[in-house]
Structure 1
């Protein structure tokens, strides 16, 4: 039966070759979710600028939220904060018992292709499609802030001014987005909300009961 460590060791040797196959516009990132907020264990390519010891993205959090029911997410398109357009596929990794423990991600920088497509769409009188933004960074705090900011926009008020009923809705949304599946995320969220860890754990337990 293959262990998680054996699978990761095998894939680490493949990561540079996979990236080189697609050239300079490709990046391959290997994640070990057991490491919490520093899940990147191998990376080849420079598309998102992450390094070994870096963090997962909102997409990775979404996969974490699904646990062992996670499925591959293929050929989705996102936009970085710098405006680069990335086409990606994220493949969950399972050990010999079927438990998801990590992910292999392939990112292709398709900015130039997207710009050409937008030009053709403009000539044809078509509106370009909106591309969602994703936070690719080595710093997990930046990923947490991006997720919280998205919920702030939905609530139309800062999270540190929420009433408890509103805070419960926020925590439920964050939980569904996989934030609390990362070890060490809870204290960061508590600080962001201006509440104690004990209060956060109490509220989170109530959300999950509901």
Structure 2
């Protein structure tokens, strides 16, 4: 089936799948061919997604992986308001095997976790939950990814030296940030450099070997 045919078929499945799990469930259908407004269908209100919204950092990672993307099942995230969410992201492939989107299921397991350790296995995942940004605003998603890298560097990204800036841009590129339309000027503004400088640095990141490759 073509990508459009698969999306049309799944649009009819999304409400029924969400209803099966009740009000704690949200199902989101993404078309990654339009990453800055990838949400084409949604049912449920766990993360507040809306049709026409942008993908999250998780979606960016799938997009960055391209055709090598695999199902990411039962991982834990935490919403900005503190709710614990068990999620699964399943890439969608067209008739050529090309990844073009994803079907995502988000289940609010906050209440289950509050019951106690006895229900921890039911809530899923043994590791600590990671924070992610579920937003319909591309700028918020880009800002969240930059903030995460800022934490990893343990310093503000504005005013970084060139070696550190190149490492940051390489990390952002790996996470798929620059697939989003308009991401480059937003990142340049956060770094305090011109767009021309950012594009030059990004080109260097993509051609120069990493420390591990040297």
Tell me the TM-score normalised to structure 1 length.
0.91
Offset at residue 64 of structure 1 (A) = 1.1
SS at the partner of 1:158? coil
Counterparts of 2:188 and 2:152, CA distance in 1: 19
Report the Cα distance in structure 2 between the residues aligned to 1:151 and 1:91, rounded to whole angstroms: 25
Which sections of structure 2, spanning at least 5 residues, go unmatched?
121-125, 209-214
Alignment of 1:46-195 (within 5 A): 46-117=45-116, 130-195=128-193
Note the residue ranges of structure 1 that are not aligned, 5 or more in a row: 122-127
> Retained in 2: the 8 A contact 1:94–1:102?
yes
Shift of 1:62: 1.1
| CA–CA separation in structure 2 for the residues paired with 1:36 and 1:62 | 12
Where 2:37 maps in the other structure, the secondary structure is: coil
Aligned-partner Cα distance in 2 for 1:192–1:69: 30
Aligned residues: 203
Which residue number corresponds to residue 17 of structure 2? 18
CA–CA separation in structure 2 for the residues paired with 1:41 and 1:120? 34
SS in 1 for 2:75: strand
Of 151-160 and 171-180, more deviation after overlay is shown by 151-160
Give the distance between the partners of 1:74 and 1:89, measured in 2 at CA: 4
Q: In the aligned structure 2, how far is the partner of 1:98 from the partner of 1:28? A: 23
8 Å contact from structure 1 (residues 3, 96) kept in 2: yes
Match of 1:199 in 2: 197
Spell out, residue by residue over 1:76-116, the C-alpha distance to the aligned partner (whole angstroms, 9 max, x if none).
11111101000011000111111111110000000001112
- 4+ residue segments displaced more than 3 Å: 118-121
Name the Cα RMSD after superposition.
Answer: 1.7
| SS state at 1:159 partner | coil
TM-score by length of 2: 0.90
Shift of 1:182: 2.4
Work out whether residues 36 and 184 of structure 1, in 8 Å CA contact, stay in contact via their aligned partners in 2: no
Instruction: Give me the whole-angstrom Cα distance separating, in 2, the residues matched to 1:6 and 1:190.
Output: 38
State the Cα deviation string for residues 134-155 of structure 1 (Å, max 9, x = none): 1111111111111111111122
2: CA distance, partners of 1:54 / 1:137: 7
Q: How far apart are 1:194 and its partner, in Å? A: 2.0
